[in-house]
Amino acid sequence: LQACDACLLVVDAVEGMGPRTHQVFREALVHQLIPVLVVNKMDRLCTHLGLTPTEAYVRTRLLLESVNAAASAMITSLHNNQQQQQQTQGQADATTTNNNNENNDDSNKEERMQQEIDLW
């Protein structure tokens, strides 16, 4: 039973997305949770890095673009994996169907042979 339908993805404005953030984001997508992006520590862009408001804007925009690129890559990867699983499942189903048809053919032959023996 799933208790939530969304998750908060907190990203540091200075450090950006780290490996753990990517992992959490991937898990959220696997569980079909809606990620809500929170950019944390925005003040550090100006106070610690000494960026002007325009530079801070550009850096924030680049951060958002990197998050979008990561999301796109993850969604594409998950979609491709699902398609491969469906194809594999379809091939397994086709093999099972062929095996069942072969078994049915064998049992039909045995039944016909038994009927011929009974006729003699």
> Per-residue confidence at 85, pLDDT binned at 50, 70, 90?
confident
Beta carbons within 8 Å of 7's beta carbon, 6+ residues apart: 24, 28, 33, 34, 35, 36
CB-CB contact of 9 with 35 (8 Å)? yes
- The pLDDT tens digits for 64-75 are 999 999 999 988
* Percent of the chain residues past pLDDT 90, beyond the cut: 38
Q: Of 37-46, 59-68, 97-106, which range is least confident?
A: 97-106
- The pLDDT tens digits for 49-66 are 999 999 999 999 999 999
- Tell me the HSE value of 99 on the side-chain side, using a 13 A CA sphere: 6
Residues listed for the chain: 120
pLDDT at residue number 115: 67
The residue-averaged pLDDT of 72-83 equals 87
* pTM over the 0.85 mark: no
The residue-averaged pLDDT of 27-36 equals 89
